[in-house]
Chain A
Amino acid sequence: MNDHTTNLLDDSAALNLGELAPRVMRLSAIVCAIALGLALALGLGAGDGMRAFQFAYLQNYCFVLSIALGALFFVVLQHLTRAGWSVVLRRLAEIMAATTAPLLILFLPILLPLLLGSWGLYVWNNPELALHDELIRHKLPYLNAAFFGVRCVLYFGIWGLSARWFLNRSVEQDVARNDRLTMRMQAASAPVMLLFALSVTFASFDWLMSLDPHWFSTIFGVYFFAGCTVGFLASLILAVAALQASGRLTYSITVEHYHDLGKLLFGFVFFWGYIAFSQYLLIWYANIPEETVWYLARQSAGWQFISLALVFGHLLIPFVGLMSRSVRRNKTWLVGWSVFLLAMHWLDLYWLVMPAYSGNQPILGLLDVCCLVGLGSALVGLSAWIASTRLLIPVGDPRLSDSLAFHNV
C-alpha cells in the first residue's frame, strides 16, 4: 500500500467529510425521526404506561452513549500517555466524544418523566415504596429525583465540556500549529481522567444499577466502562473502514493503525471478561441472597441463554478470534469482528437492563429495533454534524509525523 518510510498525509479533499456530511445528517435525521416516532407510537400502544418504551429507550440510549464515552476515554488516554501512534485517529474519537453534549437532549425522555414523578422505569421514585421498604428508605437521600437530576447535569457537564474542550483545542491547533496546546491538553488529561472515572461510575450506578435498587456492586462502574471501551473501539474501526471506503483517509490510516486498534480491542475484550467474571465470582462465592438475586434473575426464565451467549460471544470466541496478528492486520476480518462485538456490547446492555423490566423471558421486539435504529442514527448524524466543519485528522499535532510513520515491529 505505502512505503512506511515515506507516509503521506491525505490531501485536503480526503481530510474532510465534504458533501458526505449534509447527506449523512439529512438521512440520519429522517431515520431517527421515523424510528423514534414509531417507537413512541409502539410505546403508547403497549398500554403499560410507557414502561416498555422507557426500558428499550434507556437500554439503547446507554448503548449509544457508551460509544461516545469510550471515545472520550480514548481521547483523554492518548493525551495522558503522550501517544504518538494514534494521532491520525484522535480527531475521529474527539468528534464522537463531542456528541455527548447534544446527547443530553436525547436523555430527556428518561429524565423528564422521572422528575415529573414517573416510577415505571426507576421504582425508587415511587413514594409509596419507601413506606414499606426500609432499604429504599435508607437510600432515598441519594435515590431521589431531584438529586438524580442534579447529578445528570453534572455528568453531562463533565463529559460535554471536556469533550468540547479537547476537540476545540485540537481544532485550534490545526490552524495555530502551537505545541503549547498539546502541553495544555496533556496537563488537563489527568484531572479530566479522574473526573471521567468518577462520573462514569456514578452514572452507571444511577442509570443502570438503580434499576434494581436493592442490589449493588462496587465494580459495576468498571464493568460499564469496559463495555464502553469495547463498543467504542469497535465503532472506531467501523468508522475508519467506512471513511476509507468513501475515499477519505486512505493514506493516513494504515494497516499498522488497524493492527493497534485490533490489539486494543483484544485487550479490552479480555478486560471486560475479567471484570464481568470478577463481579460474578464474588457474588457466586459468597452466595448472599441480597446480592445473588440479580444474577438469579439472569440465570432463569430464558435469560441464562443470553448469559451464556455473552460468555462465549463477548469473551471466549473474540478472545481466540482476535489473538492472531494476521487477523488484526486484516481490515475485512477486523471489520467483521467489530460488527460482532458491537452486537455483543448491545446484548450486554440488554442483559443489564431488561431483566428489571420483566423477569420473564427476554423478547426482542420492534420497539427495541426502532430505538436502536433511531438512537444509532442520531449518533451517526451528530458525529457527521460535528465533523462537517472540521478536518478529520489533527493536522497541527506535533506528533502527526510519528503517527503517519507508525510501524508495528
Chain B
Amino acid sequence: MTTTASPRETPATPRLVALLAEFDSVDELLSAARRVRDAGYERWDAHAPFPVHGLDDAMAIRPTRLPWLVFVAGVAGCVAALVFQWWTNAIAYPFLISGKPLFSLPANIPVSFEVTILLSAFAAFFGMFALNGLPRWSNPLLRVRRFRQATQSKFFIAIDAADARFSPEATRDWLASLGPAHIDEVRDDGLDAALPKPLVWGALIVAALALVPPVMIAKARVTTGGQPRYHPFFDMDAQPNLRAQQASHLFADGRAARMPVAGTIARGELFDDTALYLGQRRLSAAERQEQAVAEAAADPNQPPADVPPRDGYAWVETLPVPVSERLMLRGQQRFNIYCAPCHGLTGNGEGVVSVRALELQQGTWVPPTSLHAEHVRQQPVGQWFNTITHGVRKMPGYGEQLSAEDRWAVILYMQALQRSQDARPADVPPDVLPQLQNSP
C-alpha cells in the first residue's frame, strides 16, 4: 500500500474534502464497504466501473424517495390537466364540440393521461438529478489522478470529511486496515462552490428578456390600437387579385371589371332552336316563294297580322316538345299560376283580376281575351308562344317568368281548355258516351 505524501499544512493548502481508498477487485470492494457501513459512517460512496450486485446492501443504501416524487408529480399532472380542460372548455370559453357535454370526462382523458406521464417523466428525470446533487460544476474527486481508473479497472471508496465520525488521521489509519491498494486525499479545488458569474448574468438577462413577450401580449389584450391586427398566417386571406368594383390602372376606363367578349354566350343560353325558343320555323325556299305570292295578292286595306314572325320564318303549327301527361299537368299548374288571374281558370277571360277591375268601373280596363275566341283558335301555336313571351296590347310578356318549356306546357294546356269547350262526340270516351246520349 502506498500513500501520497500530504503537503505541509500552509494557509494555501486546500481543504480536505474526502479520503479515497482504492481496491483491485469486486470482492475487496464489497467486504470493505460492509466494514465501512458497520463502522457507522454515513457520508461516503463507492465507485466501480460496472454495476456491482449486492453493493446496495453492502452500503446500506436506503430505498430512494424518487418514486414518491414521481407519484405526486403524476397526480398533480392529472389534476392540473383535468382542471385546465374543465376551466377552458366549460367556464372560460364554452364551446360545443360534436354535441358533447362541456366538461366530458372521456374526451378529457387522453390529455390528462399524457400530462400525467409528462410530469411523472419530468419528476423522474429532474428529480433523479436533483437527488444526486446534480448538476455539479466540478467534483474534487476528478482531480485525483488515480481516480480515472474508476471507469476502467479499479474500485474506490470515498469517505466524506463532513461525516460525523471522520477524523483525518484516525479515519486514514482505519481505512488502511481494510487493505486498500492505495489511499488518496481529495482536496477542494475551489471550483465547485460558486456558480460562474457569466452564467448568473446570462440567466438573469435571459429571464428578463423572456418576460417581454408575455408582457406584450398582456398589454395587447387590454388596449386598442390604430393598426390592424398583426396577421401572421395569411391563409390566402388577403389575395392580390382584382374584384368587381375595384379600380384598375390597366384599362382606359379605370375599372377592374370588364365586359364579356362580344359574342359570348352564357352556358344554357344558346337559344339555337328557334322552334323551341321563338315558336318560329325557317321557311324553305319554296315556302318563301309561296309567301311572297300571297303577300302580293293580299288586300292592302286588311290590317296586317298581329305580330309577324321574322323574315323568312313562319309560326310553328305543332308543339316542338314531346307531349306527355307530365307536360300537360305542368302546363295546368303554370296556367293556373300565371294566366288564370286574368284569363280565368277556364280561359274564358273572367279571371279574378278582371272581375275586380270591372267592378271598380274606372273605365281604363281592357277585358282579357277569351282563349276560346275564334281568332285565338285560328292562330298557330307559335304565335301563341310569341304572345305569351312578349305580351300583346295590354298583356305583359311572361318570357321572364316562364321558361320556354313551361310556355309550351301552358300552350298544351290551352289546347286542352279549348277542346273542353269545343268537344265532339268523338272526343268522349266510348264508355261515357251512352251516359251523355241518354241524359236529358
Contacts and interface: CB of A to CB of B under 8 A. Distances in A.
A193 to B, nearest CB: 28
Contacts of B67: 325
B106 A284 contact: yes
B107 interface: yes
A284 B99 CA distance: 11
A407 B106 contact: no
Contacts of B106: 277, 280-281, 284-285
Given A285-B98, A287-B98, A287-B99, A407 B53 contact: yes
A137 to B, nearest CB: 32
Interface in B357-408: none
Interface in B51-98: 51, 53-54, 56, 67, 71, 98
Contacts of A277: 106, 109
A388 to B, nearest CB: 38
Contacts of B14: none
Interface in A318-341: 323, 325
Interface of A is mostly: helix
Interface in A121-147: none
Nearest to A274: B113
Contact of B110 (A281, A325, A407): A281
B107 A285 contact: yes
Nearest to B99: A287
B113 to A, nearest CB: 9
A409 B61 CA distance: 12
B44 to A, nearest CB: 21
Interface string B15-59: 000000000000000000000000000000000000101101000
B411 to A, nearest CB: 48
A339 B423 CA distance: 97
Contacts of A284: 106
B403 to A, nearest CB: 41
Nearest to B53: A407
A200 B426 CA distance: 81
B421 to A, nearest CB: 55
Contacts of A280: 106
A399 to B, nearest CB: 18
B89 to A, nearest CB: 14
Interface residues of B, number: 13
Contacts, number: 20
Interface in A74-98: none
A280 B107 CA distance: 11
Nearest to A323: B71
Interface string B97-112: 0111000001101100
Interface string A266-310: 000000000001001100110100000000000000000000000
A29 to B, nearest CB: 47
Contacts of B54: 5
A335 to B, nearest CB: 23
A409 B51 CA distance: 10
Contacts of B53: 407
Contact of B109 (A5, A281, A323, A407): A281
A5 B54 CA distance: 10
B70 to A, nearest CB: 10
Nearest to A281: B106
Indicate the member of B56, B67, B106 with the most A CB atoms within 10 Å. B106
Contacts of B100: 285
A236 to B, nearest CB: 26
Contacts of A409: 51, 56
Contacts of B71: 323
Nearest to B97: A285
A154 to B, nearest CB: 37
A214 to B, nearest CB: 23
Interface in B108-133: 109-110
A86 to B, nearest CB: 20
A280 to B, nearest CB: 7
A409 B107 CA distance: 39
Contacts of A287: 98-99
A277 B108 CA distance: 12
Nearest to B56: A409
A277 B112 CA distance: 13
A152 to B, nearest CB: 36
A280 B105 CA distance: 12
A226 to B, nearest CB: 17
Interface string A56-72: 00000000000000000
A409 B53 CA distance: 8
Nearest to A284: B106
Contacts of B99: 287
Interface string A192-217: 00000000000000000000000000
Interface in B287-328: none
A254 to B, nearest CB: 15
Contacts of A285: 98, 100, 106-107
B77 to A, nearest CB: 15
A192 B53 CA distance: 36
A107 B131 CA distance: 57
Nearest to A282: B106
A277 B109 CA distance: 9
Contacts of B56: 409
Contacts of B98: 285, 287
A281 B112 CA distance: 14
A407 B55 CA distance: 13
Contacts of A325: 67
A277 B106 CA distance: 8
Interface in A149-190: none
B109 to A, nearest CB: 7
A407 B110 CA distance: 36
A403 to B, nearest CB: 16
Nearest to A320: B71
A174 to B, nearest CB: 29
A67 to B, nearest CB: 29
A263 to B, nearest CB: 13
A182 B107 CA distance: 47
A173 B435 CA distance: 109
Nearest to A277: B109
A409 B99 CA distance: 51
Nearest to B51: A409
A150 to B, nearest CB: 39
Interface in B242-259: none
A277 B105 CA distance: 11
A87 to B, nearest CB: 19
Contacts of A407: 53
A409 B54 CA distance: 9
Nearest to A283: B106
Nearest to B104: A284
Contacts of A5: 54
Interface in A350-409: 407, 409
20 contacts: A5-B54, A277-B106, A277-B109, A280-B106, A281-B106, A281-B107, A281-B109, A281-B110, A284-B106, A285-B98, A285-B100, A285-B106, A285-B107, A287-B98, A287-B99, A323-B71, A325-B67, A407-B53, A409-B51, A409-B56
10 closest A-B pairs by CB: A284-B106, A281-B106, A277-B109, A287-B98, A280-B106, A285-B98, A285-B107, A407-B53, A281-B109, A287-B99
Given A277-B109, A323-B71, A409-B56, 17 more contacts: A5-B54, A277-B106, A280-B106, A281-B106, A281-B107, A281-B109, A281-B110, A284-B106, A285-B98, A285-B100, A285-B106, A285-B107, A287-B98, A287-B99, A325-B67, A407-B53, A409-B51
